[in-house]
Structure 1
Amino acid sequence: MNKKMLVLLPVLTLLASGLAGCGGDNNNKGNQPTEASSDSTETKGTSGTPVTLTVEVFDRGIQGQPDLNNNTWTRYINENFGKANNAVVKFVTVPRSQEIDKLNVMMAADEAPDISFTYDSATVSRYAKINGIMPLDDLLEKYGQDLKNYLGETVLTYGQFNGKQMAIPAKRTSLAWIGSFIRKDWLDKLGLPVPTNRDELYNTLVAFRDQNPGGVDGVIPWGLAATGMNYGTGNLAESFWGEQSEEEFVTSPNWLKPGNKESLKFLNKLYNEKLISPDFALDKTAKQADADVTNGKVGFFSANWDYAFRQNISEPLKANVPEANFVPIDTFKNDEGKYKKMVYNENGVNVFIPKSSKNAELAIKYLNWMANPDVLFFLQYGEEGVNHKMVDGIPQVIAQTGDNMQTSPQNLDYTLVVNGVELGDQEKNIKALSASYSGLEETAVQSYKINTTDGYTAFFYDTPNEANIKFGKTLGDMNKQMTDKLIVCKPSEFDSLYDKLVDEYMAAGGKAVMEENMKIYEAMQANKK
C-alpha cells in the first residue's frame, strides 16, 4: 500500500514489524523498575529539587474512573521514570470532548503541558506554522534513540512539517477501520451463500425483505443511520470508483471521483425498494439502529470493524435472539476484483512539545523510556493476576474500577508512543485485541483480517490547507446532508439533484480546498526530486 494513495480521512496500513522481546515473560515484571538500555540517556541520581514534568491526559468521564493523577499507572510512571530522573510527572487533564478547544486555550496562554498531544494533524501543522511548538530533530537524536528505533522512519514521517520533525506520532498497531456484517443464521435459513459482490448482496437483501427469515415485525434488510454515524455504507463507494491518476485521487473530493454518482444511485435504489432503514436520516445518534440490530430486525450493516462484537451489541442481541449470528463479510468488489477499503494510517496520536516548555529534554527522555517493551507491557496490561491474566500466551485485561481501571483501550491515554496493543508481533497483537470479545474471539480475528485486506490509507499533507481550515466544517456538514438527501430522493430526481448539490458543494469551498490540495501535493512531489 502506498501512503499517498488515499482519501480524506486518516487511516493505516498493516505493519508487520514490532518490538522484539515483548510478551512472553513481560508479565512477570510487576511494579519493578525497568533498567534502561545501554544507550539510554536517563539521568540517575540527580540531586536537588525534583523537576515537574507536565503531561496531558484525556479525561473521558468514565463512570468509576480513578484519580487520573494518582492511580496504578501514574504511580508506576513516577516510581520508575520519575525517581530515576529526579522528576515528578504531573498529569494535566483535558476533557476528551473538548480537547482541541482546551488545547488552543492553553497554547495561547503558554500553559500547555510539556508533553501535549492531539489526534488532529491539522492542529499540529497550524502550531508548527506559527512557531508555537519545538522542532525535535536534535532532541530525538540526542535523547530519543530507543524511541526512533521503535517508531521507525515511516511513522516519524507523519510528524514532519516543512522538513522538520515537529511532532512524535504514536505507532498505530490496530489498523482495521470499517467492516460489514451479515446475519449468517438468516442466510442458512434461506439456503443462501455469503454474498461476495454487490449483485449478490442486492439479491440477498431482497430475499431478507420478502421472506423475513427472522419472522420480525418491520424487517430491515440493511441497517443504516444518518451519515456520519456508525451504520454507514462501508466500502460501497470504493467498489464503484473508476480509474484516476494519483494526484486526482488524493486531491479531489469524493464527489468528483468517477463512479461516485453511481454508488449513491445504488443506495437510492435500495432505499426506494425498502431495503434500507426507512427513517435512517432521522437517526442522528444511531440509537435507533442499535435497537433495530439488538432486537433482531437487521440482516446486514456496516460499521466499525468490531462493532458487531462489542458488548453493547452482542449481549442484548444474544438475550433477545439467541440464534442470531452476525459474521464479517467482504461484499463490495470493484471491477479489478479488489475489495478496496480505508484502513488507518501507521500513525496515531500526535505528541508535541510546546515552545513554552522548559523541560523539552526531560520530555523526550520520558517518551524514550516509554518505548521500552517492558514499560509498554506494564502500562497496557499491569501485573499478572491483578490487572490481567494469561490465556494461551496472550494477556487479557481484567476489567476493574478505581485505581486499576484503564479509561481507554490498552491504556492509550498513558502510552503516548503507541495506539493499540503492542506485544512485539502483529499476530499476537490481533489475538490480544480480539480477546476482549468474549465468545467471539475467532470471528473478531476474521473481521480484522478481512478489513485490512486491499486497504488504502489517507494521503498525508505536510502543510496545512488554509481553505480546509476555513471551509472544512461547512463542507463536512454539507457532505452529510447531501448524502442523506440523495439516498431518499425520488429516483427520477436523482441525477439533477446530484449535479446541483455537487455544484453547491464546490462553490461553498470544495473547489478552493481541492485547488490548495493540488498546490501542496505538487510542492511535496517537487521536494522529493
Structure 2
Amino acid sequence: MAYGMAAVLFAGILTACSGGSEGAAPAGSKVESGQTEGKNGYPASFSYWVELDGDSAVSMTNFNENEAYKKLEEMTGTKVDFKHPTGGGTQIQEQFNLMIASRNLPDVIQTNWLTVPKGPQNAIDDGTIIRLNDLIDQYAPNFKKYLDEHPDIANMIKTDKGDIYAFPFIREDDRLKVYYGPVIRKDWLDKVGMQPPTTIDEWEQVLTAFRDKDPNGNGKKDEIPFLLEVGAVRNDLLNSMIGAWGILDKFYQKDGKVYYGEIQPEFEQFLTTMHKWYTEGLIDKDFAAVDGKLKDAKTAGNQLGLLYGYSSGTIGKFTDLMKDSVPGFKMTALPNPTLNKGEVSAAGMISPTYPGEHSAAITSAAKHPEQIVKWLDLAYSDEGHMLFNFGIEGKSYTMVNGKPEYTELITDNPDKLTFKQAQAKFMRTQYGGPFVQDVESFLQQMKYPEQLDSLDVWSKAKNNLQLPLMTLTSEESSKIASIMNDVNTYSDEMVVKFIMGTEPLSNFPKYVEALKSFGIEEAIQVEQAALDRYSKR
C-alpha cells in the first residue's frame, strides 16, 4: 500500500511542456511543440511534477528510471519530463506558493489537491488546473467505466460544484485502509504473565508491569512502557486512543453534526489519564521530543513495550531486525482501547477510499490536455493496473494460479533493497499515484502472521465519527486556515504541558475558552456547512 503525504509543487525550475492534440492529427504528424506525436494519438511529451518518494530515491534519481514508466513510454511513445521537488515539507510549501504566484506551471501536477490553499475548486476557477469532466467522458474510457461502476467514488473526487479536478489514487479494498495501530511486545507480556490488554485500565496494568518487572531481562530497569507521540502522527495516534472516550482529537461528526474534540469534557478525561501515566513513569519521559529515528532506536534497543506503528514498517521491520538478537522477540497488534470491557472503540486509524493524496491534475499550461487525459487513463485499464501495482511480468512478478506473485527481485532483492525499495524500482504501489491500488500488492508485504493479524485487529474500530474529505470554498478555506493556524499552534503546546504537568489540568476550562477566542466555534460552523453540502451531492 502506498504511504505518506503527497507533496506540493516545485516552482522555480518548472517549465511547461506540451504534446499533441488527441484525434486532431494522425500518429507521426507534427504538433505545436515541434516534436513528433506519440503512438496512436498519445502525446509526444509533457511535463509532470511529482514527488520522488524516499523508497524510490534509493534506486533512482528520476521516474524515467522506473520500470513501469519505461514500459508506458514503450507502449505510448510518450516521453514524460518528470520534475521532482527537493527539500522538506516547509521548503516545498514555499516553492508551491511561488509556483502559484509565478504561474510557471508544468502540464501535470501530482499532489493532494484537497490540502492546497483555497482548495481544488478555486484552483479550477483561477485557472491553475482544468475541469476534467468532459475530457474524461471523451478521452478516458477506462476511468469513465470505473466511475460509472463506482458512483460513490465518483462523488468523492468532485467539488461541491460537481467538477472533477484530478485523476485519483484509490484504496478500494478495505484491507488497504487500515495499516497503523497499537503494537505490543508479546514476549514481554508473556514474561510478566499477562494477557493482551483491551481497556484503558488494562493498558495501565500492563504498562505498570512493564515498568516494574524487567521484561527485557537486562537488570537495568530501562524499559519504556509506552511511547506516546504528539508529532507528525499525532492525529492518527490520538484518535486511536481518544476513540476510547467516544470522540476524536480534532473535527468529527455524530449524526451529521460537527464537533471539535479538544473542547469536549472527554478530552480533559483523556489528558487526565495521560498525565497520570506520565507522572507514574508509564510514558516515555522524552515523548514530546521523540522523532522517527529516536523511536526506531528505542525499539531496536529493546526498550519499548507498547507503541503505535505499522503492519509492515513496524511489526515486519523489527521482527526482521530483532529476531536473531533478542530470542523470542515478538510484536503483535492490540485492538484500539476502550473504557469498558467488551466495547468496540469508536475510532482507530483508517484511510479514506479516496485519501486525496497522489492525485494528478492537468494545468492550464497544457496545450493539448486531451492526449494527457488519454495517457493518464491507461493506469485505470487492466494492463495499467498490473503495471502500476506489480510492474513487469516475468521480472517483478509472475502469474501463479491466476494471481500475480512478486518474484525474488521484490521479496529477496539481490541488491539488498527492502521490499518497498524494490517495489519502487518497478512499480508505484509502494507509495501512490493516480491508479487503483491492488490489495495483493499490500498483502504480499506481510511476511509474518502477526502482520496479517494486525489488519484484522485494527479494523474492528467503528470509525463512524470521521468527516468525509470535503471541499471548502475559497473564503471558507482562508477562514479555516487563519483560525486553525492559531488553534493548532496553541493546542500543540498546551497538550504537552497538560500531560507533563507544567500546566495544571485545573486550567482546562481556560484552555477551552482560549480555543473559542481563536474562533474554533466559527471553524465548526464552516465545517458544518461543508458537510451539509457534501451530504447533498
TM-score of the pair, normalised by structure 2: 0.77
Equivalent position to 2:482, from 470, 475, 489: 470
Residues 208-227 of structure 1: pairs in structure 2 closer than 5 A: 208-216=210-218, 217=220, 218-227=222-231
For residue 484 of structure 1, report the CA deviation from its aligned partner.
Answer: 1.4
C-alpha spacing 1:514/1:245, structure 2 compared with 1 (3 Å): closer
Look up the SS of the partner of 1:69 in the other structure. Answer: helix
Query: Can you list the C-alpha shifts for 1:141-179, whole angstroms capped at 9, x where unaligned?
Result: 111231133353222323312222223322124211431
Equivalent position to 2:155, from 157, 163, 174: 157
Query: Can you list the C-alpha shifts for 1:350-385, whole angstroms capped at 9, x where unaligned?
Result: 221112321211121112122112222123322345
Look up the SS of the partner of 1:55 in the other structure. Answer: strand
Contact 1:133–1:166 (CA<8 Å) still a contact in 2?
A: yes
- Relative to structure 2, which stretch is displaced further, 231-240 or 202-211? 231-240
Q: For 1:140 and 1:180, locate their aligned partners in 2 and report how far apart those are by CA, in whole Å.
A: 42
Question: Which amino acid is 2:29 matched to?
Answer: S
Look up the SS of the partner of 1:63 in the other structure. Answer: helix
C-alpha spacing 1:210/1:323, structure 2 compared with 1 (3 Å): same
Name the % identity.
Answer: 20
Q: CA RMSD for the aligned pairs?
A: 3.4
For residue 270 of structure 1, report the CA deviation from its aligned partner.
Answer: 0.9
Query: Can you list the C-alpha shifts for 1:112-161, whole angstroms capped at 9, x where unaligned?
Result: 23221212413142413534221111111111231133353222323312
Match in the other structure for 2:46: 53
Residues 200-215 of structure 1: pairs in structure 2 closer than 5 A: 200-215=202-217
Match in the other structure for 1:36: none
Look up the SS of the partner of 1:496 in the other structure. Answer: helix
Aligned: 1:411 with 2:428: yes
Contact 2:387–2:427 (CA<8 Å) still a contact in 1?
A: no
Q: For 2:378 and 2:254, locate their aligned partners in 1 and report how far apart those are by CA, in whole Å.
A: 40
C-alpha spacing 1:408/1:250, structure 2 compared with 1 (3 Å): farther
Question: Which amino acid is 1:159 matched to?
Answer: I
**Greater relative CO (CA pairs within 8 A, separation 6+):** 1
Residues matched between the structures, number: 471
Look up the SS of the partner of 1:321 in the other structure. Answer: coil
Equivalent position to 1:364, from 373, 376, 379: 373
For residue 329 of structure 1, report the CA deviation from its aligned partner.
Answer: 1.2
Look up the SS of the partner of 2:305 in the other structure. Answer: strand
Contact 1:225–1:289 (CA<8 Å) still a contact in 2?
A: no
C-alpha spacing 1:76/1:332, structure 2 compared with 1 (3 Å): same
Query: Can you list the C-alpha shifts for 1:379-405, whole angstroms capped at 9, x where unaligned?
Result: 332234532466784522624679x96
Equivalent position to 1:137, from 119, 133, 138: 133
Look up the SS of the partner of 1:303 in the other structure. Answer: strand
Query: Can you list the C-alpha shifts for 1:24-76, whole angstroms capped at 9, x where unaligned?
Result: xxxxxxxxxxxxxxxx9899745332242222232236233254334433321
C-alpha spacing 1:182/1:41, structure 2 compared with 1 (3 Å): farther
- Relative to structure 2, which stretch is displaced further, 272-281 or 334-343? 334-343
Match in the other structure for 2:510: 500
Question: Which amino acid is 1:221 matched to?
Answer: P
Aligned: 1:109 with 2:119: no
Look up the SS of the partner of 2:306 in the other structure. Answer: strand
Contact 1:103–1:112 (CA<8 Å) still a contact in 2?
A: no
Q: Which runs of 5+ in 1 are unaligned?
A: 1-8, 11-39, 423-428
Match in the other structure for 1:192: 194
Question: Which amino acid is 2:381 matched to?
Answer: N
Equivalent position to 2:288, from 281, 291, 299: 281
Match in the other structure for 2:69: 74
C-alpha spacing 1:482/1:180, structure 2 compared with 1 (3 Å): same
Match in the other structure for 1:458: 467
Match in the other structure for 1:352: 361
Aligned: 1:168 with 2:153: no
Match in the other structure for 1:17: none
Question: Which amino acid is 1:201 matched to?
Answer: W
Match in the other structure for 2:330: 325
Q: For 1:42 and 1:377, locate their aligned partners in 2 and report how far apart those are by CA, in whole Å.
A: 30
Q: Which runs of 5+ in 2 are unaligned?
A: 6-21, 31-35, 38-43
Q: For 1:156 and 1:47, locate their aligned partners in 2 and report how far apart those are by CA, in whole Å.
A: 35
Question: Which amino acid is 1:132 matched to?
Answer: T
Aligned: 1:488 with 2:500: yes
For residue 180 of structure 1, report the CA deviation from its aligned partner.
Answer: 0.6
C-alpha spacing 1:320/1:41, structure 2 compared with 1 (3 Å): farther
Question: Which amino acid is 1:133 matched to?
Answer: I
Q: For 2:515 and 2:427, locate their aligned partners in 1 and report how far apart those are by CA, in whole Å.
A: 40
C-alpha spacing 1:383/1:221, structure 2 compared with 1 (3 Å): same
Contact 1:296–1:324 (CA<8 Å) still a contact in 2?
A: no
